[in-house]
């Protein structure tokens, strides 16, 4: 990350709009560091981005969020909160509770082992943010480690089960906890690998230089899928498990579509390479030769 350069001002705006035109995503998440570091650029970008896709800005809300953004359609402002005030203020200064209280749409919190160890912590957190009238949604993820990591934040399997039971119970009476039952239960059987993670396979994560891909998913490195706690991954896994027709689930359609897409892309890449070789051979030969037909075209445009 330290070796990456990022952009500012007009260049940043132009590059992001150009990426949007290139990838045409349905959804764009702008995450940190903190996107509000570039709030002037965001002020110009957001009205244009919301006409192209559903936009999510994830911030620590360390500075006031411009009021005009509240009127933008298709925009979701998510504030990352690290637990209740004592823990959050230590980790997130200057984005303290006091600073963020008036700046919120949706709250996202990553549950760590310490939170589970303290009895009543998660209900207290959800109660606190439910009482804030500007908060519409509360989302909870679970800390996702890299493979082999033993960070103190990691949950034991038993702690994970307790979190699931707690969230299932709270969602019955706190409707701001925007997590369907199916999504919460997915925490107990996360995708086995990035290749089988619908979220990882349907997103394209770019780093601050807007070029370097973060792979295999937004966590980068070698994430431990068996201990994944990403709410987005669980949400898409739950959608994948929806039955559409008899035993056929949305996941069947997704993976079949992915397989067809890969096959077609492989054929296109092979055809492209063959075409380049033929062009090269042709340019080295003064006598133009007839080009063979591949995929119904003879590459002369006929
Ligand atoms: S989002 Fe979670 S399950 Fe998906 S690839 Fe990353 S770590 Fe694995």
- Domain CATH for 94: 3.80.30.10
| Alpha carbon distance 231, 219 (integer Å) | 13
Residue 258 has pLDDT above 50, yes or no: yes
What span, in angstroms and rounded, lies between the C-alpha atoms of 236 and 255? 13
Q: Is the CB of 144 under 6 A from ligand 1?
A: yes
Same domain assignment for residues 157 and 200: yes
In a domain, 291, yes or no: no
pLDDT at 285: 72
pLDDT for 194: 97
Residues 235 and 251 in one domain: no
Q: Are residues 249 and 191 in the same domain?
A: no
Does residue 161 sit in the same domain as residue 27? yes
Q: Is 230's C-beta closer than 6 angstroms to any atom of ligand 1?
A: yes
Q: Which atom of ligand 1 is nearest the CA belonging to 225?
A: 8
Q: How confident is the model at residue 291 (pLDDT cuts 50, 70, 90)?
A: very low
Neighbours of 50 (CB within 10 A): 16
Instruction: Please tell me whether the overall predicted TM-score, pTM, comes out greater than 0.85 for this model.
Output: no
In a domain, 193, yes or no: yes
Q: Does 219 contact ligand 1 (Cβ within 6 A)?
A: yes
Res 55 pLDDT > 80 = yes
Q: Do the beta carbons of residue 125 and residue 111 sit within 8 Å?
A: no
Cα 237 to averaged position of ligand 1 atoms, centre (Å): 11
Q: What is the pLDDT of residue 295?
A: 42
Q: Whose CA is nearest to atom 3 of ligand 1?
A: 225
Q: How far is CA 5 from CA 30, 80, 86, 215, in A?
A: 17, 24, 34, 18
Q: Whose CA is nearest to atom 6 of ligand 1?
A: 217
Number of domains present in the structure of the chain? 2
Alpha carbon of 173 to ligand 1 centroid (Å): 29
Note whether 123 and 43 are same-domain residues: yes
Q: Is the pLDDT of residue 1 over 90?
A: no
Is residue 50 domain-shared with residue 135, that is, in the same domain?
A: yes
DSSP state of 299: S
Residue 203: its pLDDT value, please? Answer: 95
Cα separation of 207 and 179, whole Å? 28
Q: Is 199 in the pocket of ligand 1 (CB under 6 A)?
A: yes
Greatest distance between any 2 Cα atoms in the chain: 82
Residue 202 and residue 269 in one domain: no
Domain that holds residue 138: 9-244
């Amino acid at each position: 990350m330290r070796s990456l350069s990022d952009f500012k001002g007009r260049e940043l705006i132009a590059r992001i709009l150009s990426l949007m035109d290139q990838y045409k995503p349905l959804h764009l998440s702008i995450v940190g560091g903190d996107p509000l570091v570039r709030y002037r650029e965001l002020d110009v970008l957001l009205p244009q981005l919301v006409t192209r896709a559903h936009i999510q800005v994830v911030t620590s809300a360390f500075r006031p969020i411009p009021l005009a953004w509240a009127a933008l359609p298709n925009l979701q402002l998510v504030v990352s909160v690290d637990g209740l005030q004592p823990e959050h203020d230590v980790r997130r200064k200057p984005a303290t509770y006091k600073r963020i209280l008036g700046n919120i749409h949706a709250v996202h919190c990553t549950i760590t082992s310490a939170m589970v160890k303290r009895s009543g912590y998660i209900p207290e957190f959800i109660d606190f943010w439910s009482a804030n009238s500007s908060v519409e949604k509360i989302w909870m993820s679970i800390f996702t480690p890299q493979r082999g990591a033993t960070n103190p934040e990691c949950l034991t399997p038993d702690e994970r089960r307790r979190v699931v039971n707690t969230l299932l119970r709270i969602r019955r009476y706190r409707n701001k906890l925007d997590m369907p039952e199916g999504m919460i239960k997915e925490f107990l059987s996360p995708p086995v690998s990035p290749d089988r993670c619908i979220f990882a396979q349907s997103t394209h994560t770019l780093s601050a230089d807007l070029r370097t891909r973060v792979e295999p998913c937004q966590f980068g490195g070698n994430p431990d899928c068996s201990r994944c706690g990403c709410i987005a991954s669980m949400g898409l896994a739950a959608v994948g498990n929806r039955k559409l027709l008899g035993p056929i689930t949305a996941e069947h359609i997704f993976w079949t579509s992915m397989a067809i897409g890969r096959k077609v892309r492989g054929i296109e890449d092979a055809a492209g390479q063959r075409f380049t070789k033929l062009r090269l051979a042709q340019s080295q030969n003064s006598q133009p030769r007839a080009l063979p037909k591949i995929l119904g075209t003879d590459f002369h445009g006929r």
